[in-house]
Amino acid sequence: MQDVAYIKRCIELAELSKGYTAPNPMVGAVLVHEGRVIGEGRHERYGEAHAEVNCLASVKDEDRELVSKSTMYVNLEPCAHYGKTPPCAVRLAEEKVKRVVIANQDPFEKVGGRGIDILKSAGAEVVTGVLEKEGAWLNRRFFCFHTKQRPYIILKWAQTARGFFAPADRSSYKITNRQSQQLLHKWRTGEAAIMVGYQTALSDNPQLTARLWEGKQPLRIVLDRKLQLPVGHHLFDGTAETWVVNEQKDGEGINSKLLQLSFDNRLLPQLMNELYEADKLSLIVEGGAQLLGSFIDQGLWDEARVFTGHDNLEEGVRAPALQNERVAFETNIGGDQLRVYTNRNNPFSYPGNMEL
């Protein structure tokens, strides 16, 4: 039970860095000697020290002699390669940490069990699989990226109680309340990219930024096949990196990057490959019914977050219909219902009592 409690603490620490570590995973570490925590740390920001190093650095001078007699808890296998920082597995081996407890093995090809091998070769006892489902859910974006070679894809929309997505004339219409909108902005800070289609960009003139929550701004992606969007729209205001996916040309646009792709059934897989090459671990799709439906039809989604408001439209555009879904959980947000689904082909099931 102690192992479970300390790995849970690692996950809590790791969650504090959401949105700042990508394309690296979120990792927390706890060092324990005979039931007493003598160090804690997390990977705070991409390119900076990893969780294990920060944990060791937090150990007080009077406890330094206890490091080699302690257990290091970490939610992801310590790295085994030289990147922006030295290998954590080597550091733990040098410190002669006697026991290491891990939630998940790292799927990254340069690690993939090598960190565990280094620790065992140094004489450490290694325990794996503690809170494995919780650890996988925490880093599902990272795991999806390295196992499927594409970003983790989240679909989001709001619908009325009768299942309408928008008025029949497709005019802008607020379905959710302020609390739900603030939660959405919080989500945006945790994802690498956000996407809408041409009609949504044209009609709603969205900013696609996190204005109601402090954090990083995601890459903005818009489909504009013939490069017809007005240059005065918010997407071209320079407040966040923006890709304009089109059929005309590659290059630089107004405060944006032009990305030329074929607008056929290969469009979305091609775009996912571009995001993979750009080290974008996740994508939240907030487009219209047609764009969302394209992702659903191609089975190209991992998670869907659906708000249902109280407002009733007598007629309108029907909300998308998911396929192969399972309900993860549902809750009430100031009167709006939020229901979260996962794709049945998504290996990361929601374990409960964790953040999205």
- Non-local (6+) Cβ contacts of 14 within 8 A are 25, 26, 27, 28, 42, 43, 51, 75, 138, 139
Residue pair 132/76 in contact by the 8 Å Cβ criterion: no
Instruction: Identify the active-site residue in 40, 52, 77, 95.
Output: 52
- 47's enclosing H/E stretch is none
- Non-local (6+) Cβ contacts of 268 within 8 A are 294, 295, 298, 300
Residue in the structure block whose two tokens are 């590659």: 250
How open is the CA angle 292-150-261, to the nearest 5 degrees?
A: 65
Token pair listed for 34: 């005979």
- Rounded distance, CA 249 to CA 260, Å? 5
Is 355 an annotated catalytic residue? no
- Non-local (6+) Cβ contacts of 184 within 8 A are 156, 176
Return the number of other C-beta atoms located less than 10 Å from residue 214's C-beta.
Answer: 9
Residue in the structure block whose two tokens are 């065992």: 120
Residue pair 191/319 in contact by the 8 Å Cβ criterion: no
- Rounded distance, CA 91 to CA 71, Å? 14
Residue pair 139/168 in contact by the 8 Å Cβ criterion: no
- 246's enclosing H/E stretch is strand 242-246
Return the number of other C-beta atoms located less than 10 Å from residue 216's C-beta.
Answer: 15
First-to-final CA distance of the chain: 25
Please state the φ and ψ torsions of residue 10, each to the nearest 5 degrees.
Answer: -60, -45
Token pair listed for 301: 């989604």
Tell me the HSE value of 123 on the side-chain side, using a 13 A CA sphere.
7
User: Catalytic amino acids?
Assistant: 52
